Structure 1
Amino acid sequence: MAFDIWKQIKAGSFSPLYLLFGTEPYLINETKQLLISHALSPEEVDFNLSSYDLEETPIQTALEDAETFPFMGERRLIFLHNPYFLTAEKSKSKTEHNLAMLEAYLKDPSPYSIVVFSGAYEKLDERKKLTKQIKKSASVLEAKKLTEPELKVWIRDRAASNGVQIDEEAVELMLRLSGTNLFMLTSEMDKLALYAEEDKRIDVNMVEKLVSRSLEQNIFTLVDKIVHRNIEDALRIFYDLLKQNEEPIKILAVITNQFRLIYQVKELARRGYGQNQIAGYIKAHPFRVKLAAGQGKQFSDEELAQIMNLLAEADYQMKTGGMNKALLIELFLFKLNRHSVET
C-alpha cells in the first residue's frame, strides 16, 4: 500500500528495488518525489539521479549506471520508465533488452543504488518469470484508485503533513466537492491548510467557503438540487456556470452523464450487484457510485427513463434546432420541477 511505502521512505528506510505500476498517476508521482527528496540531498540530484525510458534505452545501459559508484553521495537513484517487457502489451519499441542481465541484477542488486521501475500499466503479466521475480525482489506499489475509506485516510494524512487537523464533516464535504482526483484534492488541501495556519483546524465552513468546484462537481450539485425538486437553486447554479463561460452543450452533456450513471447504478443494484461490483462493471469510482445510488432512490424507474428521453430530446434540439441553447436547459429544468416527470 502506498501509505506504508511512503512512511518507510520518509523514515529513511529504502529498498534497493521498487516497482510502481497502475492507473492512479498521483500515487506513482508522489512516490517518485518522496524518493528524490529523501534519498538524495539537493546537491546530489544533478550527479546521482538518472532517468531512462525503456522503450528507447536498453536495460543493460541503465543497469550499468546502477552499478556505478555514486558521485559525492551515499547512493544513486535511477528511474526506469515503461518496462513493457513485464506486461502482455505489445510494444512498437525496437530496443533490445538483455533480460538475463536484469534477472541477475534482481538477485543481487547494487547496495549503493535505488532502482525504480515505473509504468502506467493496469496490470502486469503474472505468467512471466521476470515479472514474478521482480515482484518478489522489489517493494511493490500497485497504484489503484483509492477507495472511499482510503481517500479519507489520505485527506487526514495530508492535513497532518501540513500541520493541521480536519474535522470529519469537512472530510466528507471535501470528497463531495472535489471528487476523487488526488491532484485536485492535493491542491485544495494545501490551500485549506495555509488558510488554517493560525487555528490549525479545517472545519466544514472553511471547506464550503474555499474549495473550488469543478464543472463535474457543479453539475453533481445541480443534479442534487433537481433530485430534491429545488428548481430555484438548480437554476442559480446553472446561471453561475453560464457566467463562467461554460457552454450549454457541455453542461447538458455532463448532466446527461450523471443521470445515465444514476440510471445504470439503480438498474444494476436491482439485479443484485454490490456497489464495488457496479463500480468495476461501469468503470466508475465506488464513491461516485455510492452518491449516485443515493440520488437514484429519489426517482422511480419510469421517471428516470422519462428524464433520459427529455435529455436526448434537448440534445437533439441543441444540435439541430434554432432554439437558444441555454433556454433548452431551462425548459428541461422546469419540466423536472414537478413531483413526477411528464412526457
Structure 2
Amino acid sequence: MVVDIWRKIKQKEISPLYLLYGTEAFLINETKQLLLNHILDEEEKDFNFSAYDLDETPIDVALEDAETFPFLGERKVVFLHNPTFLTAEKSKEKVDHNLAKFEAYLKEPAPYTVMVISAPYEKLDERKKITKELKRNAELVEAKKLNEHELKNWVKERAKSSGIEFEANAIERLLTLVGTNMFMIAGEVDKLALYAAEEKRVDVHLVDALVARTLEQNIFTLIEKVVQRRLDEALRIYYDLLKQNEEPIKILALLAGQFRLIYQVKELSRRGYGQQQIAGYLKTHPFRVKLALGQAGKFTDEELANLMELIAKADYQMKTGGMNKSLLIEMLLFRLKK
C-alpha cells in the first residue's frame, strides 16, 4: 500500500525509479512531495531537481539530464509527467520518444538520480514492453481511490504524524461532512490537529464545530431534514446556501443527483448487490453508497418516483424562465415534505 512506500521514504530507503500510477491525484502529489523533501535540501532543489512534460519534451532530453552528475550535491531528482506511451490510447504526442533508450535506462538507472514517472491514468497498457520493463524495475505506487476502511486508516495515520488521535466516530463524522476528496480531508485533518494540539485528541464535537461543509454535504443534510419532516431546518440550510451565492440551478442539480443515487442504490440493493458492487456499477465511492443506502430506507419506491418527477418539473420551469429560480426550489421543498 502507498502508506508503506511513504514509510520507506521517510526512513530514507530510496529507490532510483518510481512509477506512480492511478487516478487519486492526492496520493501521487503527496508521494512526489515526500520524495523531493526527503532527498534534496531546500538549497539543492534549485540545481538538482527538474521536471519534464512528456507531451512537450522527448524522453531523450530527460534521460540526458538523469545521466548527468548532480551539481553541488550527491543526488538529483527528475520528474516525468504525462507518459501517454504507457497507455492504450491513440497517440496524441507532439514529440517522438526513443523508448528503446528509455528501456535501456530502466535496466541500469543512474545511481545518483531518482527518477519519478507520474502516470495519472486509470489503466496502463500491460501489453507494451515499456510498461512491463517499468513495472519490473521501478518501485510501484498505485494511487487508487481508497475504500472506506483505507480512508479511515489514512486519516488515523495523518493525524498520528501530527501527534493527534481521532476518535472513531469523529473520523466517521469527518468523512460524512467532507466527502472522499483527499485534498479536502487532508486540509481538515491538519486544521483539527492544530486546534487539538494541547488535548491531543479529536472528538465528534470538535469536528462538528470546525469542519467546513461542502455544498454536496449541505445538500445531503438538507435531504436528511426533508426525510425527518423538519422543513424549517431544511429551509434554513437552503437560505444559507443562497446567502453564500450558490446558484439555485446548481442546488437543484445536486438535489436531483442525490435522489437519483438514492433511487439507483435502493434498486440495486433490492436485486442483491452489495455496497462494493453498487459502487463499482455506479462508478462512485463506496462511502457515498453507504450514506445513500441509509437514506434509501426512508423512502418508498412511489415516493422516490414522485420526488424525481417534481424535481424534473422544477428543472424545466427553471430553464424555461417561467418563475423565480430561488422561489421554485422553496416551493419544491414544501412539496417534498408532504
Query: Do they fold alike, i.e. is TM over 0.5?
Result: yes
The CA deviation string for residues 201-228 of structure 1, in whole angstroms up to 9 with x for no partner, is 1111111011001111100111111222
Q: Distance between the aligned counterparts of 2:200 and 2:288, measured in 1?
A: 30
- Does the 8 Å CA contact 1:228/1:298 hold for their aligned counterparts? no
* CA distance 1:63–1:313, shift in 2 (3 Å): same
Q: Which moved more, 1:297-306 or 1:64-73?
A: 64-73
Q: Which residue of 2 aligns with 1:267?
A: 267
**How far has the Cα of 1:229 moved from its partner?**
2.2
> CA contact under 8 A between 1:178 and 1:184: conserved in structure 2?
yes
Report the secondary structure of 1:44's partner residue.
Answer: helix
Alignment of 1:22-33 (within 5 A): 22-33=22-33
Give the corresponding residue for 2:277.
277
Q: Secondary structure of 2:42's partner? A: coil
Question: Hey, what's the Cα distance between the residues in 1 that align with 2:230 and 2:283?
Answer: 30
Using the alignment, how far apart are the partners of 2:167 and 2:35 within structure 1? 30
* TM-score between the two structures when normalised by the length of structure 2: 0.97
Q: Which amino acid aligns with 2:274?
A: G
For 2:106 and 2:251, the matched residues in 1 are separated by 52
What is the aligned-residue RMSD (CA, Å)?
Answer: 1.2
2:133 aligned partner, one-letter code: Q
Deviation of the 1:321 alpha carbon: 4.5
Give, in angstroms, the shift of residue 39 of structure 1.
Answer: 0.8
Shifted more, 64-73 versus 296-305: the winner is: 64-73
Higher deviation after alignment, 276-285 or 33-42: 276-285
Task: For residue 110 of structure 2, give the secondary structure of its aligned residue in structure 1.
Answer: coil
Identical positions, percent: 66
TM-score normalised to structure 1 length: 0.96
Q: How does 1:105-184 map to 2 (within 5 A)?
A: 105-184=105-184
Aligned length: 338
Show the counterpart of 2:219: 219
User: What amino acid is the match of 1:310?
Assistant: L
Using the TM superposition, name which of 227-236 and 103-112 deviates more.
227-236
In structure 2, distance between residues paired with 1:50 and 1:133: 23
How far apart, in 2, do the equivalents of 1:322 and 1:114 lie?
Answer: 61
Alignment partners' CA distance in 1, 2:89 and 2:330: 48
Letter of the 2:184 partner, please give it. Answer: M
Give the counterpart letter for 1:183 in structure 2.
Answer: F
Superposed, 1:328-339 pairs within 5 Å as: 328-338=328-338
* Aligned equivalents of 1:12, 1:277: Cα separation in 2: 39
CA offset digits 1:175-217 (Å, max 9, x no partner): 0001100111111111111111121111111110110011111
Deviations along 1:207-260, whole A, 9 cap, x unmatched?
Answer: 101100111110011111122222222111111111212122211111111001
Contact 2:219 / 2:251 at 8 angstroms: preserved in 1?
A: yes
1:271 Cα offset (Å): 2.1
**Residue 54 of structure 1: how far off its partner (Å):** 1.2
2:273, 2:128 → 1: CA distance? Answer: 33
Residues of 2 paired with 1:207 and 1:291: CA distance?
A: 18
Q: Secondary structure, in 3 states, of the residue corresponding to 1:258?
A: helix
Secondary structure of 1:43 counterpart: helix
For the structure 1 residues 321 and 93, does the alpha-carbon distance in structure 2 shift closer, same or farther, using more than 3 Å as the test? closer
Structure 1 residues 285-340: Cα deviation after superposition (integer angstroms, max 9, x where no partner)? 110011101110111111111110011011112222432222222222222223xx
Bigger shift: residues 229-238 or 323-332: 323-332
Consecutive unaligned residues of structure 1, counting only runs of 5 or more, are 339-343
Q: Does the residue aligned with 1:6 lie in a helix, a strand or coil?
A: helix
Q: 1:318 corresponds to which residue?
A: 318
Matched with 1:341 is: none
Query: Which whole-Å CA distance do the structure 2 matches of 1:121 and 1:179 have between them?
Result: 22
Name the amino acid aligned to 1:313: K
2:43 is paired with a residue whose SS is coil
Are residues 1:12 and 2:4 paired? no
Q: Which residue number in structure 1 is paired with residue 90 of structure 2?
A: 90
* 8 Å contact kept, 2:227–2:337: no
CA–CA separation in structure 1 for the residues paired with 2:66 and 2:245: 52
Q: Which amino acid aligns with 1:231?
A: L
Aligned to 2:66: 66
